[in-house]
Structure 1
Amino acid sequence: MQITAAGLSKRFHRDWIFRDLTHTFEPGTATAILGPNGSGKSTLLNTLSGQLLATEGTLTYTYQGQLVAVEEVPQLLAYCAPYLELIEELTLTELLQFHTRFKPLRAGLTNEGLIERMYLEKSRHKLVRDFSSGMKQRLKLGLALYAAAPLLLLDEPTTNLDRTGVEWYREHVRATALGRLVLISSNVAEEYDFCSTHLDVTSFGVKPTR
């Protein structure tokens, strides 16, 4: 998946959140979107995903050499953010059965296999509403990381995770990043230290890290 932004800008009322982003996000790369709290990282991520309309500028999506209409982007997108809700009235097994009808898992991975990778075997028949905040975040991450989607967007991915959970995230994001376009909104270095490009929302200075 490739995303090309040209003069991309977003304004709420009279306040500009970001302005004049011109950049091509190449397939097979990982980019960290950086900036202090309230700087517009999540807004930029949501605009790049097509969930928010830009005030100015254009976005072009390309997948396997073909242009992709913005309304088709959700089919190619996996997203994890603390503010996204889970269906808490379902058990873990029921939720996976429902979710994967619309967002299939990567080739060769079963729902049971995902449960094992998330270390949630003892909770497979537990209602999601009874999960701890850390378990819910690991579930959100597992659904995104292991979705068969060429575009992966992560917003503050280690929110609510303890040290063991952070190490789990670091292991599995690296294991699933190859060949995808990965965008991570963060101001915590251990969430994005594997990213090859850093994009500062406050200046849009694109700085390759290696």
Structure 2
Amino acid sequence: MQIEATSLGKRFHRDWIFRGLTHTFQPDTATAILGPNGSGKSTLLNTLSGQLLPTEGTLTYSYQGKSVAVEEVPQLLAYCAPYLELVEELTLTELLHFHTRFKPLQAGLSTEGLIERMYLEKSRHKLVRDFSSGMKQRLKLGIALYAAAPLLLLDEPTTNLDRTGVEWYREHVRATASGRLVLISSNVPEEYDFCTTQLDVTSFARSVR
């Protein structure tokens, strides 16, 4: 998956969150989108994913040499963010069977295999609403990391994870990054220290008074 941003800008009311961003996000690379809290990292991530329309500039998507329309991007996208909701009325097994109907797992991986990789075997029949915050975050990460999707977006991926959970994330994000375009919104170095490119959103911040 490749994303080409040209003179990209996003404004809310009179305030520019970012402006003048020109960058090509190449396939099989990992880019960290950096900046302090409130700087617009999540807004940039959501704009690049097509979930938010840019105020100015253009976004061009391509996959395997073919142009991709913005409305087709969700089919090629796996996303994990703390604010995304899970269907908490389902058990873990039920949720994974439901989710993978729309977003299949990587080839050769079953839902049971994913449960084992997330170390959630003892919770396979437990309602998701009864999971701890750390278990929910690991579940969100597992669904995204192991989805059969060439575009992986992670927004503050270690939120709610303890030290063991952080190490789990670091191991599995490296194991699943190859061959994809990975974008990570973060201000925590251990979430993105494997990335080959860093993009500071404050470098493109503009304000109109």
TM bracket, shorter-chain basis: over 0.9
Match of 2:53 in 1: 53
Matches within 5 A, 1:91-130: 91-130=91-130
Tell me how far 1:15 sits from its aligned partner.
Answer: 0.5
Match of 1:149 in 2: 149
Matches within 5 A, 1:111-190: 111-190=111-190
Supply the distance in 2 between the matched residues of 1:122 and 1:62 (Cα, whole angstroms).
41
Structure 2 segments unaligned to the other structure (5+ residues): 205-209
Match of 2:207 in 1: none
1:49 alignment partner AA = S
**Percent identity between the two aligned chains:** 90
Match of 1:86 in 2: 86
Over residues 56-109 of structure 1, what are the superposed CA-to-partner deviations in whole Å (9 max), with x where a residue is unaligned? 000000000000000000000000000000000000000000000000000000
Matches within 5 A, 1:30-69: 30-69=30-69
SS at match of 2:116: helix
Supply the distance in 2 between the matched residues of 1:134 and 1:202 (Cα, whole angstroms).
30
The count of aligned residue pairs is: 204
Tell me how far 1:118 sits from its aligned partner.
Answer: 0.1
Supply the distance in 1 between the matched residues of 2:198 and 2:76 (Cα, whole angstroms).
23
Tell me how far 1:47 sits from its aligned partner.
Answer: 0.1
Higher RCO (CA < 8 A, seq sep 6+): 2
What is the root-mean-square deviation in Å for CA atoms of aligned residues?
A: 0.4
Supply the distance in 2 between the matched residues of 1:43 and 1:58 (Cα, whole angstroms).
15
Over residues 13-67 of structure 1, what are the superposed CA-to-partner deviations in whole Å (9 max), with x where a residue is unaligned? 1110000100000000000000000000000000000000000000000000000
1:193 alignment partner AA = D
Q: Which of structure 1's runs of 4+ aligned residues deviate more than 3 A?
A: none
Tell me how far 1:111 sits from its aligned partner.
Answer: 0.2
Match of 1:207 in 2: none
SS at match of 1:100: helix
Match of 1:196 in 2: 196
1:70 alignment partner AA = V
Tell me how far 1:117 sits from its aligned partner.
Answer: 0.1
Tell me how far 1:155 sits from its aligned partner.
Answer: 0.1
Tell me how far 1:149 sits from its aligned partner.
Answer: 0.1
Tell me how far 1:115 sits from its aligned partner.
Answer: 0.1
SS at match of 2:7: strand
SS at match of 1:203: helix
Tell me how far 1:6 sits from its aligned partner.
Answer: 0.1
Structure 1 segments unaligned to the other structure (5+ residues): 205-210
SS at match of 1:105: coil
SS at match of 2:104: coil
Supply the distance in 2 between the matched residues of 1:160 and 1:122 (Cα, whole angstroms).
20
2:129 alignment partner AA = R
Supply the distance in 2 between the matched residues of 1:16 and 1:201 (Cα, whole angstroms).
11
Tell me how far 1:157 sits from its aligned partner.
Answer: 0.1
